Amino acid sequence: MVTDEIDIPLTKEEEKEKIEFLKERKFSDFKIHSYYDRDSYIKHAIELDTIKEVYPQFDKIIGVFKRPAKNGFKYSFRYKLEEIKHLILCFYLDETPPKFFNAYFDYTRQDEKLRKKVEKWMKRESNKQ
């Protein structure tokens, strides 16, 4: 299990491929992972109705990142809802069936946050060499 996780930015081609993967499916096609609804307690208090409403608004996705997972990767799709309000939807896309496992709102300025994530990833990659 990876303990020092870092968001890995996708290339434009990978990002497009993962967004197309979502476009080809309805939200109901995803199995809901137990992490989201642990013991009937919704971890981040975002109702499925809200998620189902935002999910098909693919034009609002401003970034896609991945993190290593047990079976492939965890993918985070960042939807821009307002200037500083974003909804992050997280999926296991490499599993069969693909699973939805998390959702949360983020109220930070995404351009700065995304820049820092990319810088952190680049620094880690350069330290590997």
**Domain extent listing, the chain:** 8-128
pLDDT in tens, 112-125: 666 677 777 777 77
Q: Is the pTM of this model over 0.85?
A: no
Going by pLDDT thresholds of 50, 70 and 90, the confidence category of residue 3 is very low
For residues 18 and 4, give the distance between their C-alpha atoms in angstroms, rounded to a whole number.
24
Q: Which CB contacts under 8 angstroms, 24+ apart, belong to 15-21?
A: 15/63, 15/64, 18/64, 18/75, 18/77, 18/93, 19/58, 19/61, 19/64, 19/77, 21/93, 21/98
Contact at 8 Å (CB) between 31 and 100?
yes
**pLDDT tops 80 at residue 44:** no
